[in-house]
Structure 1
Amino acid sequence: MGSLGAILKNPDDFYPLLKLKMAARHAEKQIPPEPHWAFCYTMLHKVSRSFAMVIQQLGSELRNAICIFYLVLRALDTVEDDTGIPTDVKVPILKAFHRHIYDCEWHFSCGTKDYKVLMDQFHHVSTAFLELEQSYQEAIEEITKRMGAGMAKFICKEVETTDDYDEYCHYVAGLVGLGLSKLFHASGSEDLASDHLSNSMGLFLQKTNIIRDYLEDINEIPKSRMFWPREIWSKYVNKLEDLKYEENSEKAVQCLNDMVTNALMHAEDCLKYMSALRDPAIFRFCAIPQIMAIGTLALCYNNIEVFRGVVKMRRGLTAKVIDRTKTMADVYGGFFDFSCMLKSKVDKNDPNATKTLSRLEAIQKTCRDSGVLNKRKSYIIRSEPRFNPALIAMLIIILSIIFAYLSTKRPNN
């Protein structure tokens, strides 16, 4: 769970954190007995615990399809990310990956830690893939083929312009949005969403990740990974890596704010996409990451720490988003509150302040025009703790003792 200090500062984080911890334990127990499916779900928990929890609420058929879709694309991404693979080896693998998923003998050793295990034992993923309904297989194959070709293109091409940036993000994330829309439709639960809106869902998440992960990507060994478009960063520094140096802090923050402003252009499309969803489980599956994205952008904006370390939402706030996102009113509320937080950080002297404020006001107008903002209770913007920290500390100690006692009494399976 979150640190004791964070819980004391935000005592109403405790219950959502406890629920999240219990949900994670429950999800870890829902591992299918078949060896290939057991591998897939175990690996899913290892490479993305949050995704593994959110996916559990889906119906079994759609859950299996999305689990395999995620692992196939994660494996493809592992090949792309491994800077130690020579280009003449990497490009053919990326282009042929959609055929490898049909081959239960294929594997390729690359990546590190859990990702290496995924690649070394990829035959389990292929075996599970071949058990999916044909409509799911076709959707996964199509997206894998298009994504592999796009990744191969950008192995040999720099992200120069904002159009390049959008194209790269389309290949690595927009296509995920298109693929999920196809899987939702194949399940019979949703109408087929437009490619434009599906693409925006992916781009909003991907651009948030690229912004947040600047330092990790630029420090990648043996070769830096550079996804920020030259068209943006060249307005502030001579080389992208210059942004991490303290003497360039002012320019770095201005560049960061430019990147966040670029990402905000997709927010209204995301709201439109989510407002059309009918299935409650699919809605939560889509909505939670999007609220997390705008929350992360609000934290990153005007924040020099992006160039010094890791900036992310505290675990308690993440737990609240997961726990309390149930309706479109919650989504409008989350987007409205985080956009207010971001708006409060805008310096009118920032070169992009006018554009940033314009995009935030458009998001807020969409949320207000929904007419449902008054139907939810804000948990994002709060002035002061509602509980006595000493009492909360005592409660944590008591519950920890109870939890430890129950754990020792649980029979071994």
Structure 2
Amino acid sequence: MNGSQTLINNPELLRQLADAELQATLLEGVSRTFALTIPQLPDELYPAVANAYLLCRIVDTIEDEISLSAEQKKYFCSAFIDIVKTGNNADVFSAELAPLLSEQTIPAEHSLIQLVPRVIAITRSLDAPQIEALACCVETMANGMPVYQALDLHAGLKTLKDMDDYCYYVAGCVGEMLAKLFCHYSPEITAHREELLRLSVSFGQGLQMTNILKDIWDDAKRGVCWLPQDIFTETGFDLAELTPETDDERFRLGLSHLVAIAHGHLQNALTYTQLLPSHETGIRNFCLWALGMAVLTLKKIKANLNFNESNQVKISRNSVKATIVATKLTVRSNLLLSLLFNLTSRNLKSPDWHYSPISHTGQ
């Protein structure tokens, strides 16, 4: 076990770290992707965005915890909304939730829950508009996600609208929050506030849909499906029949349609990024790295529609490095970014499929 792993597993050692180092270490433990992208942001934005991700991860930890009943999850989510809004009772929340976490929850998340009081103290140290943006996001996510705990998801969601709503609760509201934080940081960015807020929901959905498509078979093993039945009704496939052994051209056709829909959302993500000032290379890279990795993942899915394990469509470390290099070279030029996006994603569209990729405007 290396030093960082030892540290992330030891809440007492973590408590001794300064705020910035604590957030960086927790991020490394719960998400290597965000631990890579968030440090690209300007120093004025890093603390708020890092803290925001940790707050969202706390909600995710509650939702994913197998030992908690639906009623307990609703209780802890409601309590956490109040804590983020007021800063009160974080220690009680942590002491109550931490002992209930199972071994299935990763050690870094055990540490994160034990350190909720420190994370919330950092939240309360932010500017008032930043706190408001974070609290709004947490409230939307923590109120929305428990709704899906009560659903029987073995046969998927009923409609694409249902999928849009789910993606909004877990990712679109995060996009909105980031847009608000970027606008607070820069008057120049604020000039595009309304369009950025609109596009940010689509940006979040594109990333979330990519994750859903990549994880279809991992979810199927748990008896869960996040795909929309109405898309597959058009191809003649019943999602209730989906199993890890499924080998059906009708399913692959529906999957291809969903790839095209996700591509449309990622096209909006590019437009969003291009609205940011060209000199804000840190914020642009933060967006572009996530966008680039999503496009490459969709490409692998489209090229391997008969995949049956997420590892088969997971992009390599070399692909991640290539994304970073390519975006760093093109980050300041909207024209080059469009050319790079169109070249990389040219096979993702379905010529016989038309969809308006902004279908959820937030709540």
Report the equivalent of 1:83.
Answer: 66
2: CA distance, partners of 1:240 / 1:113: 34
2:114 maps to which of 103, 106, 120 = 120
Residue number among 325, 330, 334 corresponding to 2:340 in the alignment: 334
How many Å separate the matches in 1 of 2:326 and 2:15? 28
- One-letter code of the match for 2:267? E
**Residue pair 1:91, 1:155 contacting (<8 A) in 2 also:** no
Match of 1:218 in 2: 220
Residue 83 of structure 2 is aligned to residue 100 of structure 1: yes
Mapped pair 1:145 → 2:151: no
Q: Deviations over 1:342-391 (max 9, x none)?
A: 46xxxxxxxx65227x99xxxxxxxxxxxxxxxxxxxxxxxxxxxxxxxx
1:227 matched to which residue of 2?
226
Specify the alignment match of 1:15 in structure 2.
none
Gaps (5+ residues) in structure 1?
A: 1-30, 344-351, 360-413
Q: Which moved more, 1:281-290 or 1:32-41?
A: 32-41
Q: CA deviation at 1:144?
A: 0.7
The 1:33/1:321 distance shift into structure 2, 3 A limit, reads: farther
2:245 and 2:237 map into 1 onto residues whose CA distance is: 11
Give distance in 2, aligned partners of 1:271 and 1:242: 33
- Name the structure 2 match of 1:63: 46
> Kindly tell me: are residues 338 and 56 of structure 1, through their superposed partners in 2, closer, same or farther at Cα, counting changes over 3 Å?
same
Aligned twin of 2:172: 174
Name the aligned partner's letter for residue 283 of structure 1.
R
Cα deviation, 1:279-310, whole Å, max 9, x if unaligned, reads 22111111221122122111101514532342
Q: In the alignment, is residue 322 of structure 1 matched against residue 324 of structure 2?
A: yes
Q: Which amino acid aligns with 2:228?
A: P
Shift of 1:275: 1.4
Instruction: Tell me how far apart the structure 2 counterparts of residues 329 and 318 of structure 1 sit (CA, whole Å).
Output: 22
Is the 1:244–1:252 Cα contact (8 Å) retained in structure 2? no
Residue 10 (structure 2) aligns with: none
Displacement of 1:155: 2.1
Q: Which runs of 5+ in 2 are unaligned?
A: 1-13, 357-363
- TM-superposed deviation, 1:48: 1.9
- The two structures have a TM-score, normalised by structure 2, of 0.79
- Correspondent of 2:208 among 182, 190, 206: 206
Cα 1:284–1:241 change in 2 (3 A) is: farther
| 1:252-285 CA distance string (max 9 Å, x none) | 3223212212222323322221111012211111
Q: Which aligned runs of 4 or more in structure 1 are off by greater than 3 angstroms? A: 31-37, 233-241
Instruction: Describe how 1:180-191 pairs up with structure 2 within 5 A.
Output: 180-188=178-186, 190-191=189-190
Query: 3-state SS of the aligned residue for 1:166?
Result: helix
Shift of 1:66: 0.1
Distance 1:295 1:182 in 2: 28
- Which digits, 9 at most, give the CA deviation of each residue in 1:149-170, with x for residues without a partner? 1112222245211111101101
In the alignment, the residues of structure 1 paired with residue 284 and residue 218 of structure 2 have an alpha-carbon distance, to the nearest angstrom, of 31
Matched residue type, 2:245: Y
1:354 alignment partner, one of 345, 352, 355: 352
Q: Report 1:333-412 matches (<5 A).
A: 333-342=339-348, 354-355=352-353
| Matched AA of 1:61 | E
Contact 2:207 2:266 in 1 (8 A): no
Q: Contact 2:221/2:244 (CA < 8 Å) preserved in 1?
A: no
- CA-atom RMSD, angstroms? 2.6
